[in-house]
Every structure is written in structure tokens, then in C-alpha cells.
């Protein structure tokens, strides 16, 4: 098996699901998995302020991107010392994790010549395809097919149950609260699989900043707040903003403003996306 450096949590999660935990030699600063992974060297750093209010984090991110500056850095010296054969990175989001640009800047400092696999899924099906890519690159293609097959059967079961249910409640899925950002990429798709209709997010496309006026115009019957990179506890500390902004909307009148864990369920394209429609199915069921 190759020596693997994973530069984002989603890739680390995929490696673990494929039985490649022992092959990991380095992970990102945000890989928060227990066991052996917790003891591995961290080879990335971030400029995003940890623990700052949402509005401040949003400001720092937007200003850095406007200046053309990266939010992340690869520790090339440490990565060189670990001599990976395979580096897993991503190219789908500048905000979420190290991307190909940071890896390219680090490569000249490496004495080894590792393969670099950039994972860029924007849908659930593409996430499964990315898992198969990792399996092929790491020499465990058969195992990857079995894992993906089992995950796909769970998703299909949710889809079948929700099709039989009939009615599709109007859902506002929020990846951020201050300012409001609707879910993008796979999240509108997950809402649809679970029997809802997301009128703000666009399946397969990036998340986008919306106004509270847009959210109110949709008149959501259900709101799910799953802030990117936030635990449910961290999001819960801000969810009163949602209720205040949507006073009088069906979701508030019925008490159907929910908080979910954005870290482990909705932000990372990997196996953890599969429990997400299962959770949404329970939240979207009519009271």
C-alpha cells in the first residue's frame, strides 16, 4: 500500500472507510478523527480565525479571496520528511481546505515525486466516484467498489421510502447563518433524496450568499442549519438569528427550525454524506 498524505478531512474519511488507515502518514490540521489519525503529523495550516464570530470569519475569508491570497498553507518541509507516495487534495472549494495551488507550490521542495490525486466531487454520485478513484490509486479498487455499493444501497433505500411518502415540504438548507448562505454542491441533492424541495440551493453548484428576503420569499416549511465546519453545538449558538429573521414563516410557526452537525454530516464529501439524507428524512417527515 502507498504512503498517503491526506490534506483534507473528506479524503481522510475516505481512506479510513477503505481500510487505508495504516497507510496514512500525514493529515490536515482539520482532520479530527480519533485513534491513530489523531497522532499523525499535521502538514497544513489555516489563516481562518478559529472560534471567531461567523460574521468575522466571513469577512476574513472574503477579503483574503479578493486579494487573491490562499487561506491555507502546506508545510512542505514536514511533508518532505514523511515521503508520501500519494497526496490526496481537493479542487472544489477555496474556503474549505488546501487545494491544488498550495500543493503545486509545495512540490518543488519535495525530494520524492508522489502522485497527487485531486478530488473534486460536487454531487453524491461524484463523491462515490471519488472514493473509487482513491481505491484505484491506493491499490484497493475491489474493496472500494464494495464500500461504495453498500453506501449506495442505503441512499437508494431513503429515496424509495421518500418517494412513497408523496408530499415534498419546502426546505431552506443553510450552510452559514451570518450572513445567510444556502447549501450548495451535494446538499440540495440530499434534501431532494430525503423528500424535500430546496428552493434556494442549486444541485451540483457552489453554495451562495442569499438575503433573508430571498429566504422569506421561499416561505420555508422547514429550515435545516448545518454550518460548514461547525458542530451542531456551535451552530445552535447562532440559530436564534434564523428564528428572528423568519418570524411568521411556516417553519417558525410550526417549530421546524433544526440544527445539524455541518462538520460530520454535510461539509465533507465522503462516506459521512450517506447518514445525511437518513437524518433529513426524519426531520422532513410531517409532524
Predicted confidence band of residue 285 (pLDDT cuts 50, 70, 90): confident
Q: What is the pLDDT of residue 82?
A: 94
What's the rounded mean pLDDT across residues 111-121?
91
Contact 191, 198 (CB under 8 A): yes
> In which band, very low, low, confident or very high, does the pLDDT at 165 lie, cut at 50, 70 and 90?
confident
Tell me whether domains 4-120 and 166-284 share a fold. Answer: yes
Q: What is the mean pLDDT of residues 258-271?
A: 93
- Would you say residue 108 has pLDDT above 90? no
CA–CA dist 85, 154 (Å, integer): 33
**Domain chopping of the chain, boundaries:** 4-120, 166-284
pTM for the model:
0.91
DSSP 108-135: GG-SS--EEEEE---SHHHHHHHHHHHH
Q: Is 166-284 in CATH node 3.90.1300.10?
A: no
* Of the ranges 22-26, 68-72, 115-119, the best mean pLDDT one: 22-26
- Secondary-structure class of domain 4-120 per CATH: alpha beta
- What's the pLDDT at 94? 62
- Section 48-70 average pLDDT: 77
207-235 pLDDT, tens digit each: 999 999 999 999 999 999 999 888 999 99
Amino acid at each position: 500500500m502507498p504512503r498517503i498524505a491526506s490534506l483534507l478531512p473528506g479524503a481522510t474519511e475516505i481512506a479510513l472507510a477503505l481500510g487505508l488507515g495504516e497507510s496514512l502518514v500525514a493529515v490536515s490540521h482539520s482532520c479530527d478523527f480519533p485513534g491513530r489519525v489523531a497522532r499523525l503529523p499535521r502538514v497544513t495550516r489555516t489563516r481562518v480565525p478559529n472560534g471567531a464570530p461567523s460574521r468575522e470569519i466571513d469577512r476574513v475569508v472574503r477579503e483574503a479571496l479578493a486579494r487573491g491570497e490562499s487561506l491555507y498553507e502546506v508545510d512542505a518541509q514536514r511533508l518532505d520528511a514523511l515521503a508520501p507516495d500519494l497526496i490526496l487534495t481537493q479542487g472544489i472549494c477555496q474556503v474549505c481546505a488546501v487545494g491544488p495551488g498550495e500543493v503545486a507550490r509545495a512540490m518543488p521542495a519535495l525530494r520524492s515525486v508522489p502522485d497527487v490525486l485531486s478530488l473534486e466531487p460536487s454531487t453524491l454520485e461524484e463523491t462515490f466516484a471519488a472514493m473509487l478513484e482513491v481505491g484505484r490509486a491506493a491499490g484497493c479498487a475491489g474493496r472500494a467498489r464494495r464500500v461504495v455499493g453498500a453506501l449506495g444501497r442505503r441512499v437508494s433505500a431513503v429515496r424509495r421510502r421518500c418517494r412513497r411518502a408523496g408530499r415534498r415540504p419546502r426546505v431552506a438548507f443553510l450552510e452559514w447563518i451570518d450572513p445567510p448562505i444556502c447549501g450548495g454542491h451535494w446538499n440540495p441533492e440530499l434534501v431532494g433524496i430525503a423528500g424535500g424541495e430546496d428552493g434556494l440551493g442549486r444541485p451540483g453548484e457552489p453554495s451562495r450568499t442569499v438575503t433573508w428576503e430571498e429566504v422569506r420569499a421561499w416561505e420555508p416549511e422547514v429550515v435545516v442549519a448545518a454550518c460548514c465546519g461547525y458542530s451542531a453545538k456551535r451552530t445552535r449558538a447562532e440559530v436564534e438569528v434564523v428564528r428572528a429573521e423568519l418570524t411568521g414563516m411556516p417553519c417558525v410557526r410550526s417549530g421546524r427550525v433544526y440544527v445539524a452537525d455541518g462538520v460530520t454530516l454535510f461539509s465533507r464529501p465522503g462516506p459521512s454524506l450517506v447518514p445525511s439524507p437518513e437524518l433529513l428524512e426524519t426531520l422532513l417527515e410531517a409532524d
